[in-house]
Amino acid sequence: MIQFGTDGVRAEAFTQLTPAFVRALGSAASRVLNGDSIIVGRDTRESGPELQHAFAQGCAAAGVAVVDVGVVPTPAVAWLCAADGLPGAMLSASHNPWQDNGVKLFAAGGRKLTDADQDVIQAHLDEAASAGHEIPIARPRVISGSIERYLDAVVGSVDGRRFDGKTVILDSANGSASVTSRQIFERLGATVVSLADQPDGRNINDGVGSTYPEFLQAAVRNHGADAGFAFDGDADRIAAVGADGRLIDGDQIIAMSALDRRDRGALARNTVVITVMANLGFRVAMEAANIEMVETPVGDRHVLEALDAGGYSLGGEQSGHVIHRDLATTGDGVLTAVQLLDAAIRRDVDLGEWAASVMTRYPQVLENVRMATKIPDLSERLANAVVAEESILGAKGRVLIRESGTEPVVRVMVEAADADQAAESTKRLVDAVRLLA
């Protein structure tokens, strides 16, 4: 059986992620998340309608109604949960191919679930599976919902300023933002060229979106646009492009946002939250700007927990999950794009030129070493090898070795001022890891 985890479940639709499992998850989630109704949205995958119906059946079996908001970005579901004090669910597999699907859950208030909530939901699923018990098929109680308030909030996040005269390319990955991203930017006055906005159930993330930014880069250059933004399948993360077609990654977006917020007095406690994967160049830039950093393990859930624990307002990941905590409860690709373009217009700078001036990306080499089993005391057994490489790299280099939480893989990452040096150091550390197998 699929294990329910930190960000819900994600697997191949109908072979692993079956309607029966999703029905059971709907029932378990409804019993744990406490509400008379649950807000439910989905992305554009072919499997979405049937799996959403199964989830709604599970909710109905537990006596809970579904507020159906249709095909929407994940952040819209989270925003509505926060606005209405209801739990929520999103049927999506994010940047995965169309064959996969998943269920992301939000507690009332738009927050990701606590470990305790996850454990109780998993216990319900395990109990049903061990007893061979299938959730009875109940007729869903469905209430039609709307995300207009969410759209208003994103448009209103720039306090009445506009993007008139700017041409913007939007790549929606044939996913959740295929309609909403264009609506938002056009309401703000931008001239929009919309790409990958014709979902057919199977073309989501297919060579487009934030995972394949080359498509966006070429389009920005060909159209002579001022900027471009690409989202993933459920629109909770972003890649950006300047007028020259230069790619701007999550670290750069967070750095630019941190500096802009600091200058406006909107960077709470003068601190930004990042993960261990943040580029060394980001760290150098923040130190130079006298901005404090709080580091978390990989995962936007950890970033959000740190934001709330410290009362901070900005955090995110290199992958493009960016959380403006005073505006949202989760990463929001379209909101981040709006905030970033607004900042560039106020500063009268091109996004690409600004990104290049804010930070220098250090070469970063990452290699995954597949292992037959988990290695006990990995850090201790590799300590000497890591110290040796760090002494070679000096202050302009960094080593990070961590075990994956979802598969038998050890991830070896090295940053250095020189790409060849990073690659050579990575190779030596990979060899050291393999000797432990």
pTM: 0.92
In whole angstroms, what is the distance from residue 12 CA to residue 189 CA?
40
In whole angstroms, what is the distance from residue 267 CA to residue 263 CA?
8
pLDDT-based confidence at 5, cuts 50/70/90? low
Tokens of 144: 């039609």
Which residue type is seen at 198?
Q
Task: Lowest mean pLDDT of 179-188, 337-346, 428-437, name the range.
Answer: 428-437
pLDDT in tens, 309-331: 999 999 999 999 999 999 999 99
Query: Which pLDDT value is given to residue 84?
Result: 97
In whole angstroms, what is the distance from residue 281 CA to residue 296 CA?
17
Is beta strand 322-324 parallel, antiparallel or unpaired with respect to 238-242? unpaired
Residue 25 has pLDDT above 90, yes or no: yes
Residue 1 has pLDDT above 70, yes or no: no
Give the count of alpha carbons within 13 A of 428, CB side only.
17
406 CB-near residues (< 8 Å, 6+ apart): 5
Exposure letters 398-433 (e unless 16+ CB within 10 A, then b): bbbbbeeeeeeebbbbbbbbeeebbebbbeebbebb
Q: How far are the Cα atoms of 126, 131, 154, 156, 229 from residue 189, in angstroms, in the given order?
A: 51, 57, 14, 13, 16
Residue 98 has pLDDT above 70, yes or no: yes
Question: Considering all CA atoms of the chain, what is the largest pairwise distance in Å, rounded to the nearest integer?
Answer: 65
* Across 39-55, average pLDDT: 98
**SS3 (DSSP) at 412:** strand
pLDDT above 90 coverage of the chain, percent = 83
Which residue type is seen at 40?
V
Question: Is the Cβ–Cβ distance between 143 and 67 less than 8 Å?
Answer: yes
Higher pLDDT, 11 or 1: 11
Question: Is the Cβ–Cβ distance between 399 and 424 less than 8 Å?
Answer: no
The residue with tokens 């040096």 is 421
In whole angstroms, what is the distance from residue 48 CA to residue 52 CA?
6
Question: Is the Cβ–Cβ distance between 88 and 55 less than 8 Å?
Answer: no
Query: Which pLDDT value is given to residue 115?
Result: 84
Q: Which domains does the chain have, with CATH numbers?
A: 9-146 (3.40.120.10), 150-246 (3.40.120.10), 248-358 (3.40.120.10), 364-435 (3.30.310.50)
In whole angstroms, what is the distance from residue 318 CA to residue 45 CA?
26
167 CB-near residues (< 8 Å, 6+ apart): 190, 191, 192, 193, 223, 224, 225, 226
Query: Which pLDDT value is given to residue 62?
Result: 94
Tokens of 231: 């989202």
In whole angstroms, what is the distance from residue 321 CA to residue 149 CA?
22
Burial label for 372, CB within 10 Å (0-12, 13-18, 19+), is exposed
Task: Lowest mean pLDDT of 109-118, 211-220, 224-233, name the range.
Answer: 109-118
* Residue 119, number of CB atoms within 10 A of its CB: 13
pLDDT-based confidence at 201, cuts 50/70/90? very high
Residue 406 has pLDDT above 70, yes or no: no
* Residue 2, number of CB atoms within 10 A of its CB: 17
* Across 40-54, average pLDDT: 98
pLDDT in tens, 262-310: 999 999 999 999 999 999 999 999 999 999 999 999 888 899 999 999 9
Residue 23 has pLDDT above 80, yes or no: yes
Active site (catalytic) residues: 94
Mean of all residue pLDDT scores within the chain: 94
Higher pLDDT, 301 or 239: 239
In whole angstroms, what is the distance from residue 90 CA to residue 42 CA?
5
Task: Lowest mean pLDDT of 11-25, 27-41, 69-83, 119-133, name the range.
Answer: 119-133
Query: Which pLDDT value is given to residue 298?
Result: 86
* Across 80-106, average pLDDT: 96
Q: How far are the Cα atoms of 49, 112, 269, 335, 417 from residue 326, in angstroms, in the given order?
A: 33, 16, 13, 12, 35
